[in-house]
Chains A and B, each alone.
Chain A
Amino acid sequence: MGEFKVHRVRFFNYVPSGIRCVAYNNQSNRLAVSRTDGTVEIYNLSANYFQEKFFPGHESRATEALCWAEGQRLFSAGLNGEIMEYDLQALNIKYAMDAFGGPIWSMAASPSGSQLLVGCEDGSVKLFQITPDKIQFERNFDRQKSRILSLSWHPSGTHIAAGSIDYISVFDVKSGSAVHKMIVDRQYMGVSKRKCIVWGVAFLSDGTIISVDSAGKVQFWDSATGTLVKSHLIANADVQSIAVADQEDSFVVGTAEGTVFHFQLVPVTSNSSEKQWVRTKPFQHHTHDVRTVAHSPTALISGGTDTHLVFRPLMEKVQVKNYDAALRKITFPHRCLISCSKKRQLLLFQFAHHLELWRLGSTVATGTVEAMCLLAVSPDGNWLAASGTSAGVHVYNVKQLKLHCTVPAYNFPVTAMAIAPNTNNLVIAHSDQQVFEYSIPDKQYTDWSRTVQKQGFHHLWLQRDTPITHISFHPKRPMHILLHDAYMFCIIDKSLPLPNDKTLLYNPFPPTNESDVVRRRTAHAFKISKIYKPLLFMDLLDERTLVAVERPLDDIIAQLPPPIKKKKFGT
């Protein structure tokens, strides 16, 4: 495999934006995530949690609410007062519509999916009808005194709960009038001058309303009588988000201290039907505010200011103990943000709103502001391979400007691809960690690829967390493929035997003092190095030089706002 001179690049000053909203779609098992810079990302949870689609954002379009309606339609609303719908096919914004109520703080789609409700700064709750290609304003509910920060529909669609400052209102949808107004204590016990902001409400089918507020309380209200049933003080800081499971037997809340609490409805005794809500497990996977949570049937999803998207699987709901049962933390985008010019030794960094061009060996930076583009890979010679978001890969002949062939469709989206310089073999990595090699001239998979598929990949290879984001080739050694994800960098040597499940995957470098025979026997095609992490980019500059771009998490955290200070025992 040889030794390389490595440019270890750590000056890629990339800071992902904090997560503002997540919305889980049960039908397609997809998750929409919006960030504070207005970016919206779509994750396909079936395809190994791959970030499938991506809408670049803009500061002026910061989203405050995100929801799925009418099946697969995605809406967002923000402080600029507009409701936007995203075109998930064309990957652009279909339209934006002003709600004329000032900044929008909250939005909720009706259980049937045909209506959309927004809560505005001026205290109005507006109902929109969703038409096949647009939304249409229907009517205003009784206007409240202060901004509506949270909204929730009763599963039957007859009532809604709206959280505001210091109180929760219950509206009758038919009449549009407020039925109950429930005043929230400003503090758990005692008096406080600070107003109590109801950050989230959830309306259950039995009429219970769960509210979370800035005093750190999770409260259960009876919507029929408008009375407080139970109160849990769970944090010293704000509880900012709540999400209820579809079965209404568990819900999850996120606090400003970075803790996510799970509540479950458990029977009081084994032989009685009486049930009670019990706070069960706390999860501390975040360092900063948990701005948003979602509850999928098998996992708790949380995201916040610290930019991590965390999937915490519910062990009791997971049927088989496969890799889905592991905790997942997604920090970096599943795209390659860096490209490299081999001849001129330049690195191009892609940021949200600008690019940076760096020359290796010198520190002169030049920047231009430009919009972003989608995944596309260009070949060395006259072939072009293009991959859509869902369909297969098309290979075009650049000289003749026509479609040469199409790689057979595969269920999982493509995460990276590249065409080898001499053989014109197309190497494709998918989100389920499969790697294919397709010969463009022959219009078929290569023999190596077929043997790999026949034997299957090592189970540890398939259990990796992050998708492969970049593939490159060694100019002098045609048998080598170089690829990497965020936590490892791998050279596949096609001439060596493939590893089976019994061999050690992550021990590719046998000790030098062993005899050649042993070394040859233990050597296998995958040579993996985990020195660099989190690795955003890695490529060969020339046959002896590598460039690796890392982005240490500590550097990102250092640029985030400070978290809430908590007293730690013993300090």
Chain B
Amino acid sequence: MVEEENIRVVRCGGSELNFRRAVFSADSKYIFCVSGDFVKVYSTVTEECVHILHGHRNLVTGIQLNPNNHLQLYSCSLDGTIKLWDYIDGILIKTFIVGCKLHALFTLAQAEDSVFVIVNKEKPDIFQLVSVKLPKSSSQEVEAKELSFVLDYINQSPKCIAFGNEGVYVAAVREFYLSVYFFKKKTTSRFTLSSSRNKKHAKNNFTCVACHPTEDCIASGHMDGKIRLWRNFYDDKKYTYTCLHWHHDMVMDLAFSVTGTSLLSGGRESVLVEWRDATEKNKEFLPRLGATIEHISVSPAGDLFCTSHSDNKIIIIHRNLEASAVIQGLVKDRSIFTGLMIDPRTKALVLNGKPGHLQFYSLQSDKQLYNLDIIQQEYINDYGLIQIELTKAAFGCFGNWLATVEQRQEKETELELQMKLWMYNKKTQGFILNTKINMPHEDCITALCFCNAEKSEQPTLVTASKDGYFKVWILTDDSDIYKKAVGWTCDFVGSYHKYQATNCCFSEDGSLLAVSFEEIVTIWDSITWELKCTFCQRAGKIRHLCFGRLTCSKYLLGATENGILCCWNLLSCALEWNAKLNVRVMEPDPNSENIAAISQSSVGSDLFVFKPSEPRPLYIQKGISREEVQWGVFVPRDVPESFTSEAYQWLNRSQFYFLTKSQSLLTFSTESPEEKLTPTSKQLLAEESLPTTPFYFILGKHRQQQDEKLNETLENELVQLPLTENIPAISELLHTPAHVLPSAAFLCSMFVNSLLLSKETKSAKEIPEDVDMEEEKESEDSDEENDVTKKVQDTSNTGLGEDIIHQLSKSEEKELRKFRKIDYSWIAAL
């Protein structure tokens, strides 16, 4: 069982992948990117995360390949260390302790035993480029305190530093000047652009810099969208530059191709521009990349580019400007209006994503599953344009229905409001628009909720609006003679003394509806839509409203703007208790009676977990975040934990995630979340990287066994589906030469059968003798769930194996058997 440590707040994935330039491995097979405190290694082909390199204790700020060994990676972090990794195995090789905050890392092939980092010494905004001598030592942790100063008063961003022409010089830009430091001569040249206040030069600021790999040429990007190519810069007087101008907004990043024949630039236009031969007229475009290009990097082999975008996405692009892979993290570009929701079907976290989209984000695999285009309009990326915003969304009826509200308000009186209802289609496995309601209310919709009662016969949706009404929408037959089409219509309109409706909430069984009208809470019967009773505490407008669950379903909770949390008893229609708590987020746990409330004070945010039946909280954690917490949600666990300690019991069935103002997604955990990542993905990739040779079968088998051992120790959360590579029948079918195979018609049913998951477990009896007994033992040792899938695989293996063997010639058959019987595991141990 899980050890009970202290509960701590952890970052749970979703961190920025676009914080720094991504780095390619030398063979372009992997791409590395910083992600919060970790470095992630992705495969450039499959887009899968191969390894997460964890070890840093603060934000990772720079990564670079080791120029002397391209199988190693350096990383630096704000925790003051430089770490050297073996990225293929995901192992930390060495830690160099520098001691001060490191803001960026650069390596040079010429400077063999030193790397360059950006540090800030005395004042908070003065940054220096220093070179750090990495001492040669065999120990794991080495102190690297030998710093030598290179450049002062530079920009913090690594985009503003570039090393050129095999390390002869380094160029740095800041504000209106470019400084070039020559290592041999130890001189600095400085070139200043006019920064006069007149309009023409007002946006001359440098934004980024790149150096040509072979020629003495520095490219600099500017605020006004110009790119300048500087040459002759070793002469203070004779220096000259060329201008390239296509971008209309600031140039975010620049990169030269490996040979230097072309220059890549990107910016807010979301277009990657390739300038060939650095001429203005000869340029190629890759448009519609979706979001602002933040970084551009080029693989050392020269076959791939990649762009990091502001919507937390990395696009891998072929040399011929074709996007080949997309690595998408949690989109964090914009403010979140919809709050955090859980899709009941996929258990994915749902929130605002790209402009006009809802994103479905898998918390387990830290990966975006898909985007649902809600607004369905072309997004025009222009500053100052008022966009349609997706403001509310809610899931209903176990994920069968999704309601979304979008609005656009240019002036006080011109409100455009639209509500859309989406039905889940099992065939297409996606949401399909069912009903579109224009102007469902006269004013902004403040709350939206479905009646999620299990026995409700008719899907019901309630919307509350500032116009003083709440409306009940029900699903009815559409005007179709076949009565097959369904649509949503308004069933009831309620109001209370023209007060603005601020919240609405259904009780767990769906029999009661609570609607808050500013300071007053009204309770309505959901069958007759009669006003049952009202509660009024005169403690300010109601900000949050929710019913208790399970044993506490007789309670109604309301949090007001004046910092009062009230609990009413619905049976006695009286206030049960109240407490002074400035509640920002109040979320009920769907699997228990617990309710989590996050309060906001000047120091930070505090978490309170309580049951409505008693005012004493179950659990308090102070200072969960320095900033304001905006949204929170309980995510049901697939496999319940069993914390025995009373304080942690609230985490048994669900996990609580919350989102702060700076959009970091945090959770409570007793262990680091990376251990919880499903091992399947790791295993999958390890196998893919091996070529399918006879050796593969031998070694691969051995590795499988090892992995199974691993699986035992780890809690396996997902049902492990047999992967095509794991079914020997299929792989043997695919890898046997075509001329020795029987006809396709003969193999067809067998092939299909092998793909099916059979329910019978009795097939285990039929295991023939020539299957390794070792493997058999393994599956016996593993726990129940694992056992089933394993055995299914075994059966299909044997079934097909026998059939194929009949078709093979005797000698081949013998050889194959010989291969299978000999234990080659010693090879793996070498």
Chain A residues engaging chain B, CB cutoff 8 angstroms:
188, 216, 232-234, 264, 266-271, 278-282, 316, 569-570
Query: Which residue of B168, B214, B238, B281 contacts A316 across the interface (Cβ within 8 Å)?
Result: B238
A-side contacts of B759, CB under 8 Å: none
With A267-B216, A280-B240 given, name 13 new contacts (CB 8 A): A233-B281, A234-B280, A268-B214, A269-B214, A270-B216, A278-B231, A279-B279, A280-B242, A281-B241, A281-B243, A282-B243, A316-B237, A570-B248
Q: C-beta contact mask, B243-260 vs A, less than 8 Å → 1, else 0? A: 100001000000000000
Contact across chains for B281 and A266 when beta carbons are under 8 A apart: no
How far is A232 from B281 in the complex, measured between Cα atoms in Å?
Answer: 9
B282 adjacent to chain A (CB < 8 Å) = yes
Are A266 and B242 within 8 A (Cβ)? no
Could you pull out 17 A-B pairs where Cβ atoms are within 8 angstroms? A264-B232, A266-B231, A266-B232, A267-B232, A268-B216, A269-B165, A269-B168, A269-B215, A278-B242, A279-B242, A280-B241, A280-B242, A281-B241, A316-B239, A316-B240, A569-B248, A570-B248
CA distance A269 to B166 in the complex (A): 11
Closest to B238 in A: A316
Residues from chain A with Cβ under 8 Å of B242 in the complex: 278-281
Using Cβ atoms and an 8 Å threshold, which residues of chain A touch B238? Answer: 316
**Is B643 close to A, CB under 8 A?**
no
SS class of chain B's interface: helix, strand, loop or mixed? loop
Contact of A234 among B168, B216, B281 (CB under 8 A): B281
Size class of the contact patch on chain B: 20 to 34
Are the CB atoms of A232 and B279 closer together than 8 Å? yes
Instruction: Determine if B234 is an interface residue (Cβ-Cβ < 8 Å).
Output: yes
Query: Given that A280-B241, A569-B248 are contacting pairs, would A270 and B279 also be in contact in the complex, using a CB cutoff of 8 Å?
Result: no
- With both beta carbons as reference points, the residue of chain A lying nearest to B168 in the complex is identified as A270
**Smallest CB separation, B360 vs chain A (Å):** 38
Docked pose: A70 CA to B131 CA in angstroms:
62
- Whether the pair B282, A233 counts as a contact (CB closer than 8 A) is yes
With a CB–CB cut-off of 8 A, which chain B residues contact A268? 214-216
* A-B interface, 9 closest residue pairs, ranked by CB to CB distance from nearest: A233-B281, A280-B240, A266-B231, A269-B216, A266-B232, A316-B238, A270-B234, A268-B215, A316-B237
What are the residues of chain B within 8 A of A278 when measuring CB–CB?
229, 231, 240, 242
A269 to B214, CA, bound (A): 8
Report chain A residues within 8 Å CB of B279.
232-234, 279
Instruction: Name the B residues within 8 Å of A281 (CB-CB).
Output: 240-243
Where the two chains meet, the residues of B that have a C-beta atom closer than 8 Å to any C-beta of A are: 165, 168, 214-216, 229, 231-232, 234, 237-243, 248, 279-282
> Are the C-beta atoms of B243 and A266 separated by less than 8 Å?
no
A188 & B240 in contact (Cβ 8 Å cutoff):
no
Cβ–Cβ < 8 Å partners of B237 in chain A? 316
Number of A-B contacts (CB under 8 A): 50
Which residues of A sit under 8 angstroms from B248, Cβ to Cβ?
569-570
B489 to chain A minimum Cβ distance, whole angstroms, is: 46
B240 adjacent to A266 (CB under 8 Å): yes
- Name the CB-closest residue of A to B169: A270
Complex CA distance for A270 and B165, rounded to whole angstroms: 10
**A524, B279: Cα distance in complex, Å:** 55
Name B239's closest neighbour in chain A (CB-CB): A316
Across-interface contacts of B168 in A (CB, < 8 A):
269-271
Contacts of B229 in A (CB 8 A): 278
The docked-state distance in angstroms from the alpha carbon of A79 to that of B239 is 42
Q: Measured between alpha carbons, how far is A266 from B229 in the docked complex, in Å? A: 12
List A contacts of B241 (CB < 8 A). 280-281
**What are the residues of chain B within 8 A of A279 when measuring CB–CB?**
242, 279
Contact pick for B240, options A232, A264, A271, CB 8 Å:
A264
Provide the bound-state CA to CA distance between A220 and B215, in Å.
20
Provide the bound-state CA to CA distance between A267 and B217, in Å: 10
Q: How far is the CA of A233 from the CA of B276 in the complex (A)?
A: 12
Give bound CA distance, A279 to B278, whole Å.
Answer: 10
* Measured CA separation A188–B214 after assembly (Å): 27
In the assembled complex, which residues on chain B have CB atoms less than 8 Å from the CB atom of A271? 168
How far does the alpha carbon of A264 sit from the alpha carbon of B235 in the complex, in Å? 14
Distance to closest chain B CB from A377 (angstroms): 42
Shortest CB distance A508–B (Å) = 26
A569 and B226 CA atoms in complex are apart in Å by 14
| Cα of A236 to Cα of B22 in the assembled complex, Å | 38
**Chain B residue with minimal CB distance to A269?**
B216
Q: Which chain A residue has the least Cβ–Cβ distance from B248? A: A569
| Nearest neighbor of A280 in chain B, beta-carbon distance | B240
Q: How far is the CA of A570 from the CA of B248 in the complex (A)?
A: 9
Contacts of B281 in A (CB 8 A): 188, 216, 233-234
Closest-CB distance, A280 to chain B (whole angstroms)? 4
Residues of A within 8 A of B234 (CB): 270
Once the chains are docked, how many angstroms separate the CA of A270 from the CA of B240?
14
Residues of A within 8 A of B231 (CB): 264, 266, 278, 280
CA distance A278 to B219 in the complex (A): 14
Residues of A within 8 A of B240 (CB): 264, 266, 278, 280-281, 316
Looking at the assembled complex, report how far the CB atom of A201 sits from the nearest CB atom of chain B, in whole angstroms: 21
With a 10 A CB-CB cut-off, give which of B165, B168, B234, B238 has the most chain A CB atoms.
B238
Q: Name the distance in Å between B268's Cβ and chain A's nearest Cβ.
A: 14
Q: Report Cα–Cα, A570/B282, bound state, in Å.
A: 21
Q: Which residue of B lies closest to A188 (CB)?
A: B281
A253 vs chain B, min Cβ distance (A): 14
Distance to closest chain A CB from B476 (angstroms):
50
The residues of B that contact A233 with a CB separation of less than 8 Å are 279, 281-282
A235 to chain B, nearest CB (A): 8
Task: Give min CB distance, B211 to chain A, whole Å.
Answer: 12
A269 to nearest B CB, angstroms?
Answer: 5
Which residue among B232, B237, B241 has the maximum number of chain A CB atoms within 10 Å of its CB?
B232
Residues of A within 8 A of B239 (CB): 316
CB distance from B201 to the nearest CB of A (A): 15
List chain A residues, Cβ under 8 A from B216.
Answer: 267-270
* Residue picked from B229, B231, B241, most chain A C-beta under 10 Å: B231
Contacts of A569 in B (CB 8 A): 248
Interchain CA distance A278-B229 in the complex, whole Å: 10
Distance in Å from the Cβ of B230 to the closest Cβ of chain A?
10
CB distance from B189 to the nearest CB of A (A): 11
Residues on B with C-beta less than 8 A from A316 are: 237-240
CA of A234 to CA of B168 in the docked complex: distance in angstroms?
32
Which single residue of chain B is at the shortest CB-CB distance from A318? B237
CA distance A188 to B242 in the complex (A): 21
* Chain B: CB-nearest residue to A250: B240
Which B residues are CB-close (under 8 A) to A234? Answer: 279-281
Which chain B positions have C-beta within 8 A of A216? Answer: 281
Bound complex: CA A350 to CA B759 (Å): 108
Give Cα A316–Cα B236 distance, bound, in whole angstroms: 9
- Which of A267, A270, A281, A569 counts the most B-chain CB atoms under 10 A from its CB? A270
A210 to chain B, nearest CB (A): 16
Give the distance in Å from the alpha carbon of A278 to the alpha carbon of B239 in the complex. 12
A232, B242: Cα distance in complex, Å: 13
Residues of B within 8 A of A280 (CB): 231, 240-242
CA distance A278 to B212 in the complex (A): 14
Contacts of A270 in B (CB 8 A): 168, 216, 234
Q: Please name the residue on chain B nearest to A264 by beta carbon.
A: B240
Closest A residue to B164 by beta carbon equals A269
Residue of A with least CB distance to B231: A266
A57 to B207 CA separation, bound complex (whole angstroms) = 54
Nearest-neighbour CB distance to chain B for A384, whole angstroms, equals: 50
List of B residues within 8 angstroms of A282 by Cβ: 243
How far in angstroms is the closest Cβ of chain B from A397? Answer: 56
**Whole-angstrom CA separation of A279 from B242 in the bound complex:** 6
Nearest chain B residue, comparing its CB with the CB of A236: B281
CB distance from B371 to the nearest CB of A (A): 31
User: In the complex, A232→B241 CA distance in Å?
Assistant: 16
Distance, CA A570 to CA B168, complexed state (A): 42
| Nearest opposing residue in chain A for B279, CB measure | A232
Shortest CB-to-CB span from B261 to chain A, Å, is: 13
Roughly how many angstroms separate A517 CA and B168 CA in the complex, as a whole number? 66
Minimum C-beta distance from A445 to chain B (A):
42
A316 to B233, CA, bound (A): 12
List A contacts of B243 (CB < 8 A): 281-282
A282 to B280, CA, bound (A): 11
